[in-house]
Amino acid sequence: MAELLTSSLLWRVLLAIGGWFSALAHSSKVLTFLGCTWRSSRTRAWCIRRLASADAPTRESRAAKRFERLNARLAARHGLKDCLDHSLLCRIWRFFVRCGQNSRLFSWLFSDGLHGVILFALSMYVVIDYVLRDLLAVPVLSSCWDECLMLLALGCVVYERLGRETPLQTGCNPLDLPVCIFLTVCFVLMNVVTPYYSIQISGFRATVQYMLWFFLVTRLVHDDRDFMRVYLALVVLATVIALHGVYQYIVAVPIPSSWMTHTETSVRTRVYSIFGSPNIMGDFMTMFAPMAAGLAYCTKNRKLQIAAWICAFCMCFGCLFTMSRAAWMALALAIVIFVLLVDRRLLVLLLAAACVACTLPFVRSRIGFLFTADFAEANTSGGRAGRKLVALTLLEQRGKLTGVGLGMFGGAVAMQNQVIDHQDYFYVDNYYLKLMIEIGYTGLAAFVLTVLGFLANACRALYRTAQQKKQGLSRLYPLCAGIFAGLCGVLVHCGFENIFEEPYMMAYFWLLAGLLMWAGFLRQTPGEVQA
């Protein structure tokens, strides 16, 4: 029971609050005095005796006894698990397993069970979505396949829990609380600000649905094998897409005239691969390029190291050929973070690469356009500056605390409905501003809290994986550093584009966040597994 208490989310929150007060005490004489008084007080000694050292009161409490009885009942009753074993989905699953026993591909795909298939399907999200939406063009499947995958993942988690001795016990990580707070705030605001409830539901779905993958991934990943399978699948996928982008640049794929100005004569084209948008393509490369570099530092095989570096360079070129200035900046920041975390010796090479990139004609043209009168006029009239002014004016009119409502302005849902009269509709091209317009200062504060919680706990996860690496218990630190660097680049890019408007980008972000939290807080060392 003591392990249950100390591993709970509430206990970790209390420890975090105590750590914050401890940090403040070192910078304040008053707090230092209060801390010394508290440490020498009888109240503190009594609390330690009752909560820390004495496990008997905890075990004997009514809540603990009810929790243990409920766990015992669920573990003793196999009726629900037997019912699921004989269900249609399980029969279909066993049929595919039997058919694929003699196939190397299917054997590799189904080797880790159903949760491995779900993780692999989530890794191939953008490919599956592209095939269903664009190649096959099946509206029924393309509109609901990701929800079906999420329900299947939830069922898999429940099924695995039912087979344990304590089905109700589950691992928590420190990021669960900020994410839950943001989900709760969005749900409350959806019901408070309800000018068009159906649009609100669509906006709520577009904003928070794919955040649920974070909770599912942290429970679907069981060991390092699952972690590495997902990691390698994502790197290979990003490499193939990067090579497709390089091919588009070589053949000078035709693009709309609105993507460039008449002054940018040195720009041949802008690549977009299967995304349909150079900005999304650049952000995709930003997310996975540091992960490929992390793979090079993780393996000791020389051939794999060379292959990983080739993948990283392909992604950098893929991002470069998108001609997206915001993606360039996000990628540069991601690479700098990765270099500072893993190998600072690369700073010189990084600086040299930046100088070489600035000598390219299309790079100088794209950056030089920012300092022209044409850009200033376009930015003020219909660019980001003009859009920002219109959005802030609408927020001033409709309410700063609660916003105009989810899905009402600035995003894809609003562009599809356009229910506000006498209002010009457009993409805000700033995800944080879009959230502030839709859910006000309250919702934006909750989202900022979630982002800050992610950054803080990601740093803690990196520290833990670094300590495990020093002890010889894990080699995941460079991989986690690559994930962290890529996600930081995405968060920066969200200030210039509605990145999270794309379902697969949001799904990938929270997939990687789940992997990072699992590696830092939920991964069991060999000693813990044996115990």
Asked whether residue 230 falls in the same domain as residue 109, the answer is no
Beta carbons within 8 Å of 246's beta carbon, 6+ residues apart = 271, 314, 317, 318, 321
Residue 104 lies in a domain: yes
Q: Express each pLDDT in 464-510 by its tens digit.
A: 999 988 888 788 999 999 999 999 999 999 988 888 888 889 999 99
Residue 5 tokens read as 């208490």
Residue 92 lies in a domain: no
Residue 293 lies in a domain: yes
Confidence of residue 449 (pLDDT cuts 50, 70, 90): very high
User: In the chain, count of helices (H) and strands (E)?
Assistant: 28, 0
Which structural domain, as residue segments, surrounds residue 510?
202-374+437-524
Residue 396 lies in a domain: no
Report the number of distinct structural domains present in the chain.
2
* SS3 per-residue string spanning 66-120: HHHHHHHHHHHCCHHHHHHHCCHHHHHHHHHHHHCCCCHHHHHHCCCCHHHHHHH
Q: Pick from 170, 190, 220: which residue ends a domain?
A: 170
Asked whether residue 135 falls in the same domain as residue 276, the answer is no
Asked whether residue 215 falls in the same domain as residue 306, the answer is yes
Q: Express each pLDDT in 351-393 by its tens digit.
A: 898 888 888 888 888 888 777 777 677 666 666 677 777 778 7
pLDDT at 313: 94
Residue 3 lies in a domain: no
Asked whether residue 221 falls in the same domain as residue 106, the answer is no
Asked whether residue 296 falls in the same domain as residue 212, the answer is yes
What is the mean pLDDT of the segment spanning 30-43?
69
Asked whether residue 223 falls in the same domain as residue 162, the answer is no
pLDDT at 54: 43
Q: How far apart are the first and last CA of the chain?
A: 16
Question: pTM, whole model, 2 decimals?
Answer: 0.83
Q: Express each pLDDT in 234-276 by its tens digit.
A: 999 999 999 999 999 999 888 887 777 766 677 888 999 999 8
Asked whether residue 164 falls in the same domain as residue 210, the answer is no
Residue 64 lies in a domain: no
Asked whether residue 476 falls in the same domain as residue 337, the answer is yes
Contact 470, 464 (CB under 8 A): no
Residue 327 tokens read as 């993606």
Q: Tell the residue number behind the tokens 């944080």, with chain if given.
A: 432
Encoded amino acid at 301, one letter: N
Alpha helices in 418-476 (DSSP H): 431-470
Q: Tell the residue number behind the tokens 């979630």, with chain if given.
A: 450
Asked whether residue 157 falls in the same domain as residue 245, the answer is no
Asked whether residue 313 falls in the same domain as residue 461, the answer is yes
Residue 82 lies in a domain: no
Q: Express each pLDDT in 159-199 by its tens digit.
A: 887 776 666 667 778 888 899 999 999 999 888 876 778 88
Residue 55 lies in a domain: no
pLDDT at 1: 44
Asked whether residue 246 falls in the same domain as residue 103, the answer is no
Asked whether residue 445 falls in the same domain as residue 507, the answer is yes
Encoded amino acid at 333, one letter: L
What is the mean pLDDT of the segment spanning 216-233?
92
